[in-house]
Amino acid sequence: MSQTLQSVRGMNDILPDEAEFWELFEDTVRSWLKSYGYRPIRMPIVEPTPLFKRAIGEVTDIVEKEMYSFEDSLNGEQLTLRPEGTAGCVRAVIQHNLAAQQPRRLYYIGQMFRHERPQKGRYRQFHQVGVESFGFTGPDIDAEMILMGARLWADLGLDGIELQINSLGQPDERAQHRAALIAYFEERAELLDEDAKRRLYTNPLRILDTKNPAMQEMCAAAPKLIDYLGPESLAHFEGVQRVLRDAGVPFTINPRLVRGLDYYNLTVFEWVTDKLGAQGTVCAGGRYDGLVEQLGGKSTPACGFAMGVERLVALIRESGGEPAAPAPDVYLVHQGDDASRLAFRVAEGLRDQGIDVLLHCGGGSFKSQMKKADASGATFAVIIGDDEAATGEAQLKPLREGSGEQKKMKVDGLAEAIIGQLIDLEEEE
């Protein structure tokens, strides 16, 4: 007997009950994004490998350890399953000249792939909502994106999510800080773990983001980037803070917040929670003014953020936000050849009027079908036997308290009766 095939580790099926929950979440997200003027964009899941090496940085963990890369067997091209969405979105903006005439606000929702150790809220195939803006230079767009997060948490009924912000300044300021950081760590080389030693001369800023408890005290005392920022970078950062203070959004300045991608400059931020264990970031992003030009486009200011759907869904459930399973308005019960033929016509007619109908399939007695009708959660059962089919009638049976009494009526009048009673029920609620 052949072994039963399983899904790839860290790449999970999303079954109907959970998928319906996800759709409710995504509907909320799309409505929220539309309210801020963001428009959808959809990019390929597979992109050229050099795109991510140039955008993310060759000495980042993502590029070095986590990307799913392969060679196209037909033409030898090096391809990668996208590990994040910003690089692909920037590539699309450049390729289609989207930001040439006016600033753009864009968003996408979809799968990303990273080969890392699966754990709660972190998987090898995961889903992100990505939000990107192009063509806005001031701190106002940075602040607006942060305020968007605060509004979404309120829309989702979430609390306990805290905001951390920092500024990475501009490349020349980071270069000065980098030199000071290398000198500082060189003097303490005996305290560095292997990961830190590997990064010392390639990406020393990432050492500050270490999770190694033995290095925490040393990193806390390291030179701080904010001390190397010039007047323009400081003014931009203060502009972001001013909007947040005016809006009453509390925040913490975290000088060790550096993000894991090379393309960020100026504002970076993370929304974090302690309700998901060690992996506490649910939304993160910042400004990346140099990336469009770095990937071959014209110099274009840009800012964006991403949030992990799995983590937010887990957080909603942790907060007791499990929604009720959706139920049809009508379960259509039928028995007999003539009744079955009429049932299909009735079902389609009701759907034409915007009524959700679950048509029974698979046969069975009226008794067994009525059990399934009740279990479906439907508000009404529409019952058709051959006797009803002969007269063009049906039985309308309420299945929920307060939805009226069972009655026989012409099938042409079903939709009006059902809609009227559904409206009455909504008003009572």
> Of the candidates 318, 352, 371, which is a domain's last residue?
318
**Residues 164, 82 within the same domain:** yes
Q: Which of 252, 284, 318 lies at the terminal end of a domain, its last residue?
A: 318
Whether 206 maps to a domain, the answer reads no
Same-domain status, 346 and 306? no
Judge if 268 and 408 occupy the same domain. Answer: no
User: What is the DSSP track for 120-159?
Assistant: TTB-SEEEEEEEEEES--SHHHHHHHHHHHHHHHHHTT--
Q: Are residues 286 and 401 in the same domain?
A: no
Element holding 166 (H helix, E strand)? strand 162-167
Tell whether 389 and 264 lie within a shared domain.
no
Neighbours of 340 (CB within 10 A): 17
Report DSSP state, residue 102.
S
The answer to whether the predicted template modeling score (pTM) of the entire model surpasses 0.75 is: yes
Tell me the two tokens of residue 131.
Answer: 């939000």
Please check whether residue 218 lies inside any domain of the structure. no
Domain count, the chain: 2
Query: Got the DSSP string for 363-385?
Result: ---HHHHHHHHHHTT-SEEEEEE
Assess whether 345 and 270 both reside in one domain: no
Domain boundary among 318, 338, 353: 318
Taking the chain, what is the end-to-end CA distance rounded to the nearest angstrom? 55
On whether both 255 and 344 belong to a single domain, the answer is no
- Residue 385, CB-side half-sphere exposure with 13 Å CA sphere: 9
Counting beta carbons within 10 angstroms of the beta carbon of residue 211, is it exposed (0 to 12), middle (13 to 18) or buried (19 or more)?
Answer: exposed
- Of 403, 385, 394, the closest CA to residue 346 belongs to 394
The answer for residues whose C-beta is within 8 angstroms of residue 345's C-beta and 6 or more apart is 411
- Shared-domain flag, residues 295 and 338: no
Q: Are residue 298 and residue 368 in the same domain, yes or no?
A: no
- Mark whether 257 and 292 lie in a shared domain: yes
Domain housing 402: 330-420
Tens of each residue's pLDDT in the chain, 429 residues = 568 889 889 899 889 888 888 998 999 999 999 999 999 999 999 999 999 888 887 666 777 788 888 888 889 899 999 999 999 999 999 999 998 878 999 999 999 999 888 776 678 999 999 999 999 999 999 999 999 999 999 999 888 899 999 999 988 898 898 899 999 988 888 888 888 888 888 888 778 878 888 888 888 899 988 899 999 999 999 999 999 999 999 999 988 787 766 688 999 999 998 877 665 889 999 999 989 999 999 999 999 999 999 989 888 887 776 666 778 999 999 999 999 999 999 999 999 999 999 999 988 999 999 999 999 999 999 999 999 999 999 999 999 876 568 899 999 999 999 998 888 777 666
State how far the alpha carbon of 160 is from the alpha carbons of 194, 273, 335, 388, in Å: 35, 6, 54, 58
Q: Is 216 part of any domain?
A: no
Residue 132 sits in the same domain as residue 56: yes
C-alpha 138/C-alpha 131 separation (Å) is 17
